[in-house]
Amino acid sequence: MQFDAMVKGLLQGLLAIVMFGMGMGLVTSDFRRVLQTPLQALLGSVGHFVFMPIAALLVIKITGLTGTLALGVLIVGSCPSGPTSNLINYLAKADVALAVVVTTLSTILCPILTPFVVTFMSNTLGLTGVPIAVPYTDMIGLVFVIIAIPITLGMLVRHKFPNFALAVERPYKIFSIIFLIAVIVIVLAKNKENFFRVLPTLGPAMVLHNTIGLLLGYYSAKLFGFGKKQCRTLSIEVAIQNTTLGMTLAIQFFSPDAALPAAVFSLWMYVAGLTLASWWAKHPVDDEALPQAA
């Protein structure tokens, strides 16, 4: 079953609105953290475009997924983080400022890196099991339109009309969560028969993918000597993907089946993320001094 043009356009438009809201929550001073702790910010982005794609490769090999489902796993692993990761870091009493920087940096990089990683993994390494053409140029163009441009416009609105931007910040966050839930429902409704058929394999695969991300994010930060709060932050940032973008790309360029991994990942990442956030919130760590810029 294919999504019609109206549904595809609606998903893209709503995602652009969400990204516009994200931009209204940003000011130029938010980027000072990149200069203060560049290694932390860089590691978070490396997590999205290196760790998670490698984790996707491992999951595909372990579970034996092929075709559009394998491609969908690659798309999930190639997405940046989103507002959800910031919310979970807030609930976990982690380093929210670092979370915002990582989300922002990875989102800015994704118009180039997400299409590149998906194309490289699927075509060059031949992971999908069947020939699937990834429209690299078209994907770059779409991601710029629905991610980069709205965020830039949102930041301009925040700069020109700060009171307005602050007033709508909370409603925008609520809208973002409702939109994500709506996308998951739409994808699962369009694929309900296939969903139950592939769930025994796809469910464990997405749980494994998310778990690997949580572990790689935490222990790679620990390896670099970051504080516990920053380790927790990067664990969440690396493992919580912008699955809304993943589903939108899968539906636009491939098929509803390719969106199933992102939908299942979304369901699990909320369970895992909120559970972990609850545990860490009950066992907080003290704020630690920022390390010297690397």
Which of the four pLDDT bands, split at 50, 70 and 90, describes residue 179?
confident
Which of the four pLDDT bands, split at 50, 70 and 90, describes residue 294?
very low
pTM reported for the whole predicted model: 0.81
3-state secondary structure the chain: CCCCHHHHHHHHHHHHHHHHHHHHCCCHHHHHHHHHCHHHHHHHHHHHHHHHHHHHHHHHHHHCCCHHHHHHHHHHHCCCCCHHHHHHHHHCCCCHHHHHHHHHHHHHHHHHHHHHHHHHHHHHCCCCCCCCCCCHHHHHHHHHHHHHHHHHHHHHHHHHCHHHHHHCHHHHHHHHHHHHHHHHHHHHHHCHHHHHHHHHHHHHHHHHHHHHHHHHHHHHHHHCCCCHHHHHHHHHHHHCCCHHHHHHHHHHHCCHHHHHHHHHHHHHHHHHHHHHHHHHHHCCCCCCCCCCCC
Asked whether the predicted pLDDT for residue 206 surpasses 90, the reply is yes
Asked whether the predicted pLDDT for residue 56 surpasses 90, the reply is yes
Asked whether the predicted pLDDT for residue 275 surpasses 50, the reply is yes
Of 13-22, 65-74, 104-113, 202-211, the poorest mean pLDDT is in 13-22
Supply the pLDDT for residue 232: 93
Report the range out of 120-124, 128-132, 155-159, 189-193 with the highest average pLDDT. 155-159
Report the range out of 110-124, 135-149, 208-222 with the highest average pLDDT. 208-222
Asked whether the predicted pLDDT for residue 141 surpasses 70, the reply is yes
Which of the four pLDDT bands, split at 50, 70 and 90, describes residue 292?
very low
Asked whether the predicted pLDDT for residue 293 surpasses 50, the reply is no
Which of the four pLDDT bands, split at 50, 70 and 90, describes residue 148?
confident
Which of the four pLDDT bands, split at 50, 70 and 90, describes residue 50?
very high
Supply the pLDDT for residue 24: 80
Which of the four pLDDT bands, split at 50, 70 and 90, describes residue 1?
very low
Q: CB–CB of 238/214 below 8 Å?
A: yes
Which of the four pLDDT bands, split at 50, 70 and 90, describes residue 136?
low
pLDDT per residue as tens digits for the range 237-258 = 999 998 888 888 888 888 778 8
Q: What is the mean pLDDT of residues 170-185?
A: 74
- Identify the structural domains of the chain with CATH numbers, from first to last: 28-280 (1.20.1530.20)
Q: What is the mean pLDDT of residues 71-79?
A: 92
Q: What is the mean pLDDT of residues 71-100?
A: 85
